């Protein structure tokens, strides 16, 4: 089950506000649609003026509601770890909201109309399904919540096969709201439902990642894994559902969200590297600088994708501002580490000159004209000069990050972020003041760019819990491969079988099918047809029974006989077995056990060969028109034949042959 929807946690309050805003947005959009229709229909100028005034009022309300929804999407503090004080906040996706769906009446009617069964007998199954969907609206923020969504997602293809026929609308509407704009999308098929559940799985993984304790290695590992899984699920959504009507699941938006998830995973990887502390050594500082440059580069790509149209109009300003701040912050950190390595560590006699030269050359893409890595390392003044240019660039970057922070009103409440930015800025200022001298000539050389490099790149990860094994709620309707919404059936017919009757062959796994029928036998006279499926023997439901189990039921028939229920497919050509008989010596050899027994009395049972036939369920519809060799069994000769249920000593038991039997 999901979380208690009435529990007043920060996340539930946020979702309740989002649901309320979605309802208000729907109301305003309906008013706007009505006003626009009236404007088109009327020619009265006075009415037009009144409608235009009303439209301006409605559009103004819509803008305010959209602004409130954007502010909710900017409320990342409720998703953070409660003890988080020393890390930059991360962005989590909010769950998509949906309306309740009542499956009861449509499913009961469909079961009665299509499957000819009492829909009221499935009330418990329908109630369980509705409870599962309701729980998915408030999943817990952990692996149990992911498994809950995956469970419902795995049930949807089963429901689609059972109840959603391409030629019949059952009247069920699924409504989901765009997580960024609040605009509702409504469809009758299950595609929107499937895509929205997958989106919420990715959103929930992002919330698990932001909730992780990033002050510990285990928490960082959980955050990294969660963001990589969120990216993998969103990528699966992008590749699988290509025409979703909701903009938050459009290819362009999903591409941006995938980049953002991977950027946050890379940021957590960097935090994991620096968590034990950074050794104040030349190589360690250079390596850390390139790792920070990698984070900055990825966030810069995220920011560039966020400011493209039409994504820019739908993504909260807070998100693009955070991406811009982080790109500047981590770039400044990279310059600070390179500057510290050059200023604090001079090349000594015991240092490996070649190794330092190789390391420095790999950090820079290009150097100022006339300079080389070896010159910078060997010449103290050059080394100090280049180091100070990096510190100056770090200071400018931190100042830019603080400036952007001050421009976004949604960031004003995030004191932790401001403290981190200010502390980084002060650290760079302190480093510059320690190496500044009034006697030195001020050099305005620009520090070269730092090549980004990482040893641990964040990659998309598809979680194993995306699909879970579930038991079909409506398995009592029969095997899904046969009893589905695509197949059309006759109502069950009752056929009376007598103990002395012979003349048809059963085939298939479950349910069993009549594949060979003597047109002169009493069962055929009573209405039995080739291709019929036996769904009940007496009071026993046998949709899930194989041939051997049905034969055991039929063997217990007394002299009065027994009623069986059969259904027929409404297709013009019922499926027939492909080459159900083989020929040997111009005599047809079928899968009828009794036929084999009576025709081969003089042969050793061990020398007889019975060619196995594929079950009926494996034939497929494409074999309908193929030619089939069949054998119509003669009617019973009551003067000479043995009773049908008397075992033949020369024939193996029916338990040895579960693929075919003759009744």
The pLDDT of residue 386? 85
Count of domains forming the chain = 4
- Do β-strands 582-584 and 587-589 pair in parallel, antiparallel, or remain unpaired? antiparallel
Q: Which of 21-30, 422-431, 480-489 has maximum average pLDDT?
A: 422-431
Q: CA 35 to CA 579: how far, in whole Å?
A: 68
The pLDDT of residue 101? 92
Confidence of residue 156 (pLDDT cuts 50, 70, 90): very high
Q: CA 491 to CA 480: how far, in whole Å?
A: 18
Do 493 and 562 sit in the same domain of this protein? Answer: yes
Do 60 and 101 sit in the same domain of this protein? Answer: no
Helical (H) or strand (E) element with 107? helix 104-114
Do 283 and 399 sit in the same domain of this protein? Answer: yes
Q: Which residue has the higher pLDDT, 639 or 372?
A: 372
Question: Mean pLDDT throughout 80-105?
Answer: 84
Beta-bridged to residue 537, according to DSSP, are: 540, 564
Do 69 and 93 sit in the same domain of this protein? Answer: no
pLDDT digit string, tens, across residues 36-67: 888 888 888 888 888 888 888 888 888 888 77
Instruction: With a cut of 50, say whether residue 200 has pLDDT above it.
Output: yes
Within a domain: residue 602?
Answer: no
Do 50 and 143 sit in the same domain of this protein? Answer: no
- How far CA 49 is from CA of 52, 63, 293, in Å, comes to 5, 21, 58
Q: CA 200 to CA 246: how far, in whole Å?
A: 13
Torsional class of 241: left (φ above 0), alpha (ψ -120 to 50), beta (otherwise): beta
Do 302 and 391 sit in the same domain of this protein? Answer: yes
The pLDDT of residue 443? 59
Q: CA 645 to CA 557: how far, in whole Å?
A: 9
The pLDDT of residue 408? 81
Do 224 and 290 sit in the same domain of this protein? Answer: no
Within a domain: residue 5?
Answer: no
The pLDDT of residue 176? 93
The pLDDT of residue 591? 36
Question: Mean pLDDT throughout 526-551?
Answer: 86
Q: Give the range of the structural domain holding residue 422, as residue numbers without chain letter.
A: 278-471
Q: Which of 75, 102, 129 is the last residue of a domain?
A: 75
With beta carbons less than 8 A apart as the criterion, state whether 71 and 410 touch. yes
pLDDT digit string, tens, across residues 584-631: 333 333 333 333 333 444 444 444 444 444 443 333 434 443 333 333
Instruction: With a cut of 50, say whether residue 564 has pLDDT above it.
Output: yes
Nearest to 648 by CA among 630, 633, 662, 638: 662
The pLDDT of residue 41? 86
Torsional class of 538: left (φ above 0), alpha (ψ -120 to 50), beta (otherwise): left
Q: CA 166 to CA 157: how far, in whole Å?
A: 14
Confidence of residue 109 (pLDDT cuts 50, 70, 90): very high
Do 125 and 59 sit in the same domain of this protein? Answer: no
With beta carbons less than 8 A apart as the criterion, state whether 507 and 615 touch. yes
CB neighbours (10 Å) of residue 549?
15
Within a domain: residue 479?
Answer: no
Do 322 and 393 sit in the same domain of this protein? Answer: yes
Token pair of 20 as six digits: 């309320």
The pLDDT of residue 54? 87
Provide the sign of the torsion angle of the four alpha carbons 589, 591, 592, 597, taken in this order: positive
Confidence of residue 341 (pLDDT cuts 50, 70, 90): confident
Whole-model pTM?
Answer: 0.78
Q: Which of 446, 471, 496 is the last residue of a domain?
A: 471
Do 287 and 188 sit in the same domain of this protein? Answer: no
The pLDDT of residue 226? 95
Q: CA 539 to CA 625: how far, in whole Å?
A: 35
The pLDDT of residue 307? 92
Cis status of the peptide bond prior to 310, with omega within 30 of 0: yes
Within a domain: residue 482?
Answer: no
Question: Mean pLDDT throughout 636-657?
Answer: 40
Within a domain: residue 539?
Answer: yes
Question: Mean pLDDT throughout 546-552?
Answer: 85
Instruction: Give the CATH number of the domain where residue 523 resides.
Output: 2.30.42.10
Instruction: With a cut of 70, say whether residue 483 has pLDDT above it.
Output: yes
Do 425 and 534 sit in the same domain of this protein? Answer: no
Q: For the chain, how big is the Rg over CA atoms in Å? A: 37
Confidence of residue 346 (pLDDT cuts 50, 70, 90): confident
Do 143 and 239 sit in the same domain of this protein? Answer: yes
pLDDT digit string, tens, across residues 220-246: 999 999 999 999 999 999 998 878 888
In sequence order, which residues have a C-beta less than 8 Å from that of residue 538 and are 6 or more positions away?
553, 562, 563, 564
């Amino acid at each position: 089950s999901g979380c208690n929807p009435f529990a007043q946690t920060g996340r539930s309050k946020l979702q309740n506000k989002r649901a309320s805003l979605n309802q208000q947005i729907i109301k305003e959009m309906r008013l706007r649609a009505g006003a626009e229709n009236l404007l088109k229909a009327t020619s009265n100028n006075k009415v037009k003026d009144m409608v235009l005034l009303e439209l301006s009022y409605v559009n103004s309300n819509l803008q305010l509601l959209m602004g409130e929804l954007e502010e909710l999407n900017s409320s990342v503090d409720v998703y953070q770890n409660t003890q988080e004080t020393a890390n930059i906040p991360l962005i989590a996706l909010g769950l998509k909201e949906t309306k309740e769906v009542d499956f009861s009446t449509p499913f009961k009617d469909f079961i009665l109309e299509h499957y000819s069964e009492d829909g009221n007998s499935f009330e418990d199954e329908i109630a369980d399904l509705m409870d599962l969907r309701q729980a998915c609206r408030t999943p817990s923020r952990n692996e149990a919540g992911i498994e809950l969504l995956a469970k419902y997602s795995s049930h949807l293809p089963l429901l689609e096969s059972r109840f959603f026929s391409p030629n019949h609308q059952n009247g069920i509407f699924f409504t989901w709201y765009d997580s960024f704009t609040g605009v509702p999308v409504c469809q009758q098929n299950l595609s929107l439902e499937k895509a929205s559940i997958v989106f919420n799985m990715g959103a929930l993984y992002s919330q698990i990642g932001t909730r992780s304790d990033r002050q510990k290695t285990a928490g960082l590992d959980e955050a990294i894994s969660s963001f990589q899984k969120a990216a993998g699920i969103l990528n699966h959504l992008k590749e699988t559902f290509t025409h979703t009507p909701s903009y938050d699941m459009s290819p362009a938006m999903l591409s941006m969200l995938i980049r953002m998830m991977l950027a946050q995973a890379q940021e957590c990887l960097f935090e994991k590297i620096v968590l034990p502390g950074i050794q104040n050594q030349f190589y360690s500082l250079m390596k850390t600088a390139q790792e920070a440059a990698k984070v900055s580069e990825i966030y810069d790509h995220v920011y560039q994708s966020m400011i493209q149209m039409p994504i820019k109009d739908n993504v909260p300003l807070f998100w693009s501002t955070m991406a811009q701040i982080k790109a500047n912050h981590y770039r400044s950190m990279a310059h600070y580490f390179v500057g510290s390595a050059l200023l604090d560590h001079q090349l000594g006699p015991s240092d490996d000159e070649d190794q330092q030269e190789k390391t420095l050359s790999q950090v820079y893409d290009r150097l100022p004209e006339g300079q080389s890595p070896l010159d910078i390392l060997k010449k103290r003044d050059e080394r100090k000069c280049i180091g100070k240019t990096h510190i100056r660039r770090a200071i400018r970057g931190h100042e830019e990050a603080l400036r952007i922070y001050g421009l976004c009103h949604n960031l004003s409440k995030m004191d932790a972020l401001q403290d981190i930015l200010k502390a980084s800025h002060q650290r760079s200022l302190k480093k510059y003041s320690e190496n500044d001298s009034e006697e030195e000539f001020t050099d305005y050389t620009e520090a070269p760019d730092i090549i980004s490099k990482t040893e641990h790149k964040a990659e998309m990860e598809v979680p194993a819990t995306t699909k879970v094994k579930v038991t079909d709620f409506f398995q009592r309707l029969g095997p899904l491969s046969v009893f589905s919404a695509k197949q059309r059936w006759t109502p069950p017919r009752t056929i009376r079988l007598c103990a002395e009757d012979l003349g048809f062959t059963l085939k298939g796994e479950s349910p069993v099918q009549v594949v060979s029928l003597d047109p002169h036998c009493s069962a055929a006279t009573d209405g039995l047809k080739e291709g019929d499926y036996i769904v009940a023997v007496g009071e026993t439901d046998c949709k899930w029974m194989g041939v051997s189990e049905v034969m055991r039921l039929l063997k217990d028939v007394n002299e009065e006989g027994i009623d069986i229920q059969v259904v027929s497919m409404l297709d013009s050509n019922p499926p027939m077995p492909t080459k159900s008989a083989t020929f040997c010596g111009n005599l047809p050899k079928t899968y009828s056990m009794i036929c084999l027994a009576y025709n081969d009395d003089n042969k050793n049972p061990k020398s007889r060969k019975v060619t196995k036939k594929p079950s009926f369920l494996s034939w497929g519809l494409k074999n309908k028109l193929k030619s089939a060799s069949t054998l119509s069994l003669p009617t019973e000769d009551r003067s000479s034949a043995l009773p049908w249920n008397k075992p033949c000593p020369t024939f193996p038991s029916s338990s040895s042959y579960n693929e075919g039997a003759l009744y």
